[in-house]
Structure formats: C-alpha cells, structure tokens
Chains A and B, each alone.
Chain A
Amino acid sequence: MIDLDKETLVKMIDHTELSAHSGEKKIANLCGEARSFGFYTVCINGGYTRYAFEKLQGSGVLVCTVVGFPLGAGTPTAKAFEAAEAVKNGAAEIDMVIHVGALRDRKLDLVRDDIRAVVDASGPALVKVILETCFLTDEEIVSGCRLSVEAGAKFVKTSTGFGAFGAFPDHVRLMRRTVGPDIGVKASGGIRNFKDAWRLIRAGASRLGVSSSVAIVEGLSLYKFAPAAWLEEEIPCHFCPSRFASIDKQPKAVYAYYKKKCQSCPHLEPFNKFYE
C-alpha cells in the first residue's frame, strides 16, 4: 500500500531545472509550477537565483542553488564564494558537488575541508552534498556520507543528473544506513515517474530532486485506482546500478566493480531466465 498523500509528496520535491540551455522562460515556468503545486524548493543554477527568488516571493517555495556543479572539481574557495553569492541572492538551500576525484584518491581531508568551506560560507542555508554515486564504489559512498556529516552538511544527495546514471534504491539505502535518521538523503537523477519516486522513498530518501515533478504528483493520483497492479513485484535488476554500468561513462575500475557485483547477485539467474 502507498501511505503517502499528495501534500506530503509535494513537500519532498526539489523541482529542478539545471540544463545548460535553459533560459528565463523555463525558469519562470518552473517557478509557476512550483507555486501552483507547492513544491518545497526550485533547484536551479546560480545565475537564476535572484530571478527565481523574486518570482517566488510570497509563495512559501524556497530556492535551492547548485554549487560546483556538475563536476565538483573546483577549489574550496571558489565553491565557498559561489555558495555565499547564492545565499546573498536568496538561496535557502545549497546543493554542492563533492570533490569526486579527491574522494576516489582517498584525500579525505581535502574532501572534508571542501565541504566545510561551503557549509561555513552558506550561513543559515542548508547544505546538501552531491556524492555523484555513479562514479563511486559502495565503500566510497559510505566514506563520502561520513565526511559530509563530519563537515556539517545536513543532507547527502545521490547525483547531479549529468553523470553515468542517477539515483538507485541500493545507493539510497546505503546512504540512509550510513547517515542515520537525522540527516537528510536526497535522491536525484533519472526519477521520471511516481513508481521511480516511490521506490526511492521506500529506500530511505527524504527529498527528491526531479524535473518530472508534475508527472510524479499526477502519477500518485492514478495509483489509487489500481494500486496492487502498479506495485506488482519487479525484477530488481531493472533498477540496479550494476545493470546501468557503462564502460563509456564510468571509470574502468568503477565499471568493473559494478559488473563484479552481478556475479554474486541472487537476482541474476531469475533475470536471465525471464529474459531468455
């Protein structure tokens, strides 16, 4: 059964528009939708923070601005400046990208300091740390979560939406287990419909970063008419990061790591049987 109402769902959504080619019209539409549905924030690039803040005056919808986006490989100083500028322009939340390369190199102090610099620069604004899970092994995800909490972030987040893949329940579950109940977990990237969203919420996500927000909310209204059918048991491989691993888009070690996981996975045999 789905024990989630529309009012709760809309307050879990960061209504997102981060395309490089989005102009003011798209941002205005985004704000219009957020106003009409009552989403928690709009999540946008820094150049539109002031514009969105003004559009949303009086609506109760907050502005969330991305920092160090989408690669995360800039300097702590640059990220801190970007965050401070966003807060000055009206951002109530900051979604920063972790230094993925440093995390993979196990330069943990650098990663922690990078996050702390943004947290300090953001003042009252809530900081979420995007791990970009598609480029990380499970161990690195756990490490990224711990460093984020140590550095004062209030949320960890799966993906930018620009990486090899987006949010998967396996990763959300792992992140939730690592950070515990008091830190937020935001799932983002590739969440296109209510079923995707519901899987991630069940796995422990407390916030969703989505551009298909309206479709997701509308999807909830359809569910009530045939709930059992929509929620039929699924083959887990359909939403497993190993199945979406890509040699073209991921570091070879990470790709090999995910494929290796398949070998010992109990779901592989029934999956192959079903499809052949």
Chain B
Amino acid sequence: MNGWMGKIIQIDLGSNRQQALPVTPETLRRFLGGRGLGVKLYTDLCPDPLDPFAAENALIFMTGPLTGTVMTSGRYQVVSRSPLTGTICDSSSGGSFGAVLKSAGLDGLVIRGRADHPVYLFINDGGIEVRDAADLWGLNTQQTQKAIHERTPAKTSVACIGPAGENRVPFAAIMNDRDRAAGRGGMGAIMGSKNLKAVAASGNRAVVIADPEAYQAMNARLDRAVDKNPVTGKSLQVLGTPVLVNVINAHGMFPTRNFRSGVFNDAEGISGEKIAETLLQRQSACYKCPIGCGRTTKTRNRQGEGPEYETVWAFGAQLGISDLTAIAEANYACNELGLDTITMGSTIGCAMELHEAGALGEKMLWGDANRLVGWVQDTACRRGFGAELGLGSRRLAAKYGRPELAMQVKGMEIPAYDPRGAQGMALSYATSNRGGCHMRGYMIMPEILGHPVFLDRFSTAGKPEIVALFQDIAAVVDSAILCRFLQFAMGISTFSEMLRAVTGLDFSDEELLTAGRRIYTLERLFNNRAGFMRADDTLPPRFFQEEFQTGSSRHRRVRLEEMLDAYYAVRGWDAQGAPSAATLAELGL
C-alpha cells in the first residue's frame, strides 16, 4: 500500500484485547488519515456522545498518508470527545512521534476501556505490548519520557501525560519528544482517565512511495518554496512564532488583561526580538523540518523549550505580565506537568478579572508574575485554588456568577488574536468545531499577514466563503498530516501533488477540498448530536458590546450576525447550523 501502512489497531485496556479495524480504500480516499480518518473512526465507534472519561470512550492516535515522508511530516493527531468542551476534538503535535508511530507499522491506534492500574503501551514493528507503569505514575512528562527511553530500544518516541493528565484536568496535554504538545482540548485527561501514562513507539518500516521520481522533485520544490517564503524562510526561523507579538500588537488586537485592551504597552519586552536578545539558546525543529520555529531557551534557573507566541500572550499580555523569565518558567512548568498553556493562561486571566470585579475572593492580581508558576503547579495537582483554575474559564466564571468574563467559545479559550481586529477570525472562532481555536481556519493569514492575499480585516464581505475555505484546507492538512506553516509556502495544489506522488491516487484540488468539507461536516454532525447548535456559534458578549479606545482596532465590534447565515449557506447547513439532507447526500455522509 502506498502512503498508508494499512493497519489500524484497537486495543481495550480493560481486557487487553486487540483487534485490527478494517478500513476500505474508499474510506481512506474520502477521509485521508489523521484528523479526518480519526473523526470518522471515532464517530463510527462512539456515535452517541459519551462522557469523555467513560471507559468505553475512544481515544484515537492517528498518522496520515504523508506522515514520515516529506518535510514536517512527524506530526500526529489525537481524536476524541473533549472533556473541556464536550465537542469532538482533535489535537495535533509536532516532533517525531507521528513518524515513529508510522514506522512502527500503524496508521492509527484506537484506545478504549480503562486499565485497572497505570500502564503504558509499547508499539514495536506492529506489535502492541501493555506494560506496567505504576512506578511512572506521578512523574512529570520529561521524567516519564526519560524512564521509558531507558526501557525501550534507541530511537523510541514517547507520547505521555504528566500529573495534570493523571488528575484529569480537562485541559491536560499529551507531550512527546520532550516538549512537543498535543495541547488543546484535554486529550491528556482522557489518557489519565484510562490509566494510560504513555504510548511509546519504535520501528523501522518505511512508507512506500508510489512515484519516487515525482516525490524527489516535489521535495526539491518544497525546499525552495520554504526557503523563499519570508515567513517560513526567515521570520519563523530567526524569531520563532513570537515574531507575531509586535505584529499583532501593532494591529491593536493583542488581547490584554482578559481582552479588555488590544494593545499591550510592554509588548516589546515579551516579543520574539526580546527573546532572541535574552533567553534564546538555539533554534529547534521537528522531524524533517527546515523551518525550525522551536526555541530552546534558558532563564537564570531553568532551561526548556519555548515559549511560543500563544504562550507568550497567555502568560504575558493576557495577565498584564511583562516578565519574560516568569512567562518562560510558567511555560516550562506546563510542559513538564502536561497542561495547555492557552487555557491555563486565559483561565488565570479570567480569575484575575473575577477578583477585580469582586466576584472572587481569592487574591488574583494583574501583573503578579511571582505566583504564576505556583498557579500552574496547583492546577496540575488540583490543590488549593488550583482546583478551581483546573475547571477552565467557562466553568470557573459560571461558578462565580459571571459567565460573561470567560473568553471562550464552546468552552475552549480563545487564543491570542482579538476578534474585534479581524472579522474573519471572529467568524472562524465562532464556528470552530472544537471551540475557541485559531487553527481551525487561520484567518490571520489573509487578514493580517496578507497571505495568500490581503483581505480587509474590518470588512465582513466575502468572509463566510473564505472562512469555510480555510477551514476545509486546514482539515485537509491536518488529515494528510503536515505542519500548517507549510501553508505560507504552498497552496492546495501543491498538497494534492504531494498526495499524488506519495499515494499514487489521482487527487485533484477539488477532491481534496471536498474531503476537507466532508470532515468538517462530519465533525459538525457529531457536535449537533452533542447539543451544539446555532446558539453555540457565538463569542463572549464583550466582543459585541465593548470597543477598544486605543490602538488600530479601536471603535470596532464583532459583526457576527452579518456573516453567520451566509456561512451556513456556504456550508449547506440550515438556519440552526445543522447540515441539510442534501449536503449530507452530496458529501456521502
């Protein structure tokens, strides 16, 4: 089989029973792999929404047809129902774990049931072994990886949870290759609920390439494209993702103090440029990645990975903190404990505003850098006020009677782009299938960075079509699976060429985008069944009611209602946001 390994295994941790799940060639072609095939498998196995922590709930690790082939193809996706949002969720991570999992012989691994004691899975050349992990329980993610590396062959890659996942914090991450995170949506908590500490993979199986000549030519072309593009060839390499701090701040949409301002006066002090001047030790890169957006950094006391842009924001501007060392060390703590930095930082910001508003007694003050690492540790261990922070912002704000102060969509915290500064981004957040996420349809590309074209960020005209298009492209890239940054250097036609070269199937641009739309619609169907309808495709009231008074996004509000009906029409959904029968028939769902 070209591209795919032809093997997806389901393992029940309760009984240790393993079975191969058959997938037809037609299904592979329609859902590709990664996020798409993961969602397809999940919704087939768990058609009715389950408690995410129920033993029968499925947690699915997926690779894609491009995994282990061209540049940036070390990624993997994890699919399940999110304990943070209740929506379908897929979480993506870089590093090399995806490529190694595939070299171990698997396209995917479906985990169900609950072990009666802590275990980890060791996958070696297609075989899966359940191993005892009692002595690993309680270790942080780096200690866990180190311990498993000592027990497994060289070049084993490990994806694991830390204390946050063990304690089922609903935004616990899965960490791999030291500090790479499948961060969003709490997939780590589901691992914890299954008593599954880690998945380790090792193998030597090569991906079979259908057209080696075209594949070589494509690799050379990708090298040139990435090198030439100013984002992938320069900005991300030199400054990492925090290059965006000054850019987004200059656009007046760098959310500050729980989204009450779009300009952070100390942005320069937490920018990518400042990190390069102070903390940066070296650039780091994922599997076969020529970009290398990762930052290995060092503070006076610690060394680690990051922070990347969203984390700089979450522990910086969102909290009114301009102490770069504190931000970096909070990030290290999240990596070690296994927490999503965006939800963590945004929830602390929500608590700070609750305290300021008099709704929360706990003393949470803007700019308090000294307690930041402590809050992270307490959250992971669910101790003291950390148990409250561990609820996530939606549940926390609701508990204290001010639900409007949680900056979330469907329960997932909105990241570092204020939607008042980009109407397309607002629509993308509101309609995202996994909640407040920038990666479902990254409208910052056209609205701020001018790629592939510059769109007026304050206009709503044409945005429904473009948002749907970007969401569909993202679904394709997440299913193929490659790094989203490649989108700066290449378009959909290059992705279809790559898939043709690797799989030998004659994918057209149209077929791929239809696959993206099919995946997005299938996710939506699940969300509809879980109760998410039009009323949930919205944003916190702040974005409709309050305007910034300074900065270049001042006097702006989100105009979602101008776009939502048109978006549903583009998608072929009814007025309540449910896919129509005709749409389902067209997509073969």
Is the pair B452, A219 in contact by a Cβ cutoff of 8 Å?
Answer: yes
Stretch at the interface among A28-36, A57-65, A77-85, A123-131: A28-36
Residue B459 CB within 8 A of the other chain: yes
Contact A215:B224 (CB < 8 A) given known A193-B452, A234-B456: no
Query: What are the interface flags for A106-142 relative to B under an 8 Å C-beta threshold, 1 for contact and 0 otherwise?
Result: 0000000000000000000000000000000000000
- Of all chain A residues, the one with the shortest Cβ separation from B229 is A215
Nearest chain B CB to A199's CB is how many angstroms away?
10
Docked CA distance A233–B229 (Å): 28
Q: Which of B228, B452, B463: most chain A Cβ within 10 A?
A: B452
Looking at chain A's contact residues, the main secondary structure is helix
Is the pair B453, A232 in contact by a Cβ cutoff of 8 Å?
Answer: no
Number of interface residues of B (CB under 8 A): 34
Is the pair A222, B491 in contact by a Cβ cutoff of 8 Å?
Answer: yes
- Of all chain B residues, the one with the shortest Cβ separation from A227 is B465
Is the pair B458, A274 in contact by a Cβ cutoff of 8 Å?
Answer: yes
Is the pair B224, A228 in contact by a Cβ cutoff of 8 Å?
Answer: no
Is the pair A192, B450 in contact by a Cβ cutoff of 8 Å?
Answer: yes
Is the pair A214, B225 in contact by a Cβ cutoff of 8 Å?
Answer: yes
Docked CA distance A245–B190 (Å): 57
Is the pair A219, B453 in contact by a Cβ cutoff of 8 Å?
Answer: yes
B198-245: which residues lie under 8 A (CB-CB) from chain A?
Answer: 217, 220-221, 224-225, 227-229
Q: Which of A194, A225, A234: most chain B Cβ within 10 A?
A: A225
Residue B555 CB within 8 A of the other chain: yes
Docked CA distance A272–B513 (Å): 38
Is the pair A230, B221 in contact by a Cβ cutoff of 8 Å?
Answer: no
Residue A276 CB within 8 A of the other chain: yes
Docked CA distance A262–B402 (Å): 49
A216-254: which residues lie under 8 A (CB-CB) from chain B?
Answer: 218-219, 221-222, 225-226, 228-230, 232-235, 238
Residue A211 CB within 8 A of the other chain: yes
Nearest chain A CB to B152's CB is how many angstroms away?
40
Residue B494 CB within 8 A of the other chain: yes
Is the pair A232, B461 in contact by a Cβ cutoff of 8 Å?
Answer: yes
- Of all chain B residues, the one with the shortest Cβ separation from A225 is B469
Residue A104 CB within 8 A of the other chain: no
- Of all chain A residues, the one with the shortest Cβ separation from B468 is A226
Interfacial chain A residues near B490, Cβ < 8 Å: 214, 218
Number of interface residues of A (CB under 8 A): 29
Is the pair B465, A219 in contact by a Cβ cutoff of 8 Å?
Answer: no
Is the pair B555, A276 in contact by a Cβ cutoff of 8 Å?
Answer: yes
- Of all chain B residues, the one with the shortest Cβ separation from A6 is B493
Nearest chain A CB to B225's CB is how many angstroms away?
6
B445-469: which residues lie under 8 A (CB-CB) from chain A?
Answer: 450-456, 458-459, 461-466, 468-469
Nearest chain B CB to A195's CB is how many angstroms away?
4
Residue B492 CB within 8 A of the other chain: yes
Residue A170 CB within 8 A of the other chain: no
Is the pair A229, B462 in contact by a Cβ cutoff of 8 Å?
Answer: yes
Is the pair B462, A230 in contact by a Cβ cutoff of 8 Å?
Answer: yes
Contact A218:B469 (CB < 8 A) given known A228-B462, A232-B461: no
- Of all chain A residues, the one with the shortest Cβ separation from B460 is A232
Interfacial chain B residues near A214, Cβ < 8 Å: 225, 228, 490
Query: What are the interface flags for A19-51 relative to B under an 8 Å C-beta threshold, 1 for contact and 0 otherwise?
Result: 000000000010011001000000000000000
Interfacial chain A residues near B225, Cβ < 8 Å: 33, 214
Interfacial chain A residues near B464, Cβ < 8 Å: 229
Is the pair B494, A218 in contact by a Cβ cutoff of 8 Å?
Answer: yes
**Additional 18 contacts, C-beta under 8 A, given A193-B452, A214-B225:** A29-B227, A33-B221, A33-B225, A36-B221, A192-B450, A193-B454, A218-B452, A218-B491, A219-B452, A222-B452, A225-B513, A226-B465, A228-B465, A229-B462, A230-B466, A232-B461, A234-B456, A276-B555
22 contacts between A and B (CB under 8 A): A29-B224, A193-B454, A194-B452, A214-B228, A215-B452, A218-B452, A218-B491, A218-B493, A219-B453, A221-B493, A225-B492, A225-B509, A226-B462, A226-B468, A229-B462, A229-B466, A229-B469, A230-B462, A232-B461, A233-B461, A235-B456, A238-B454
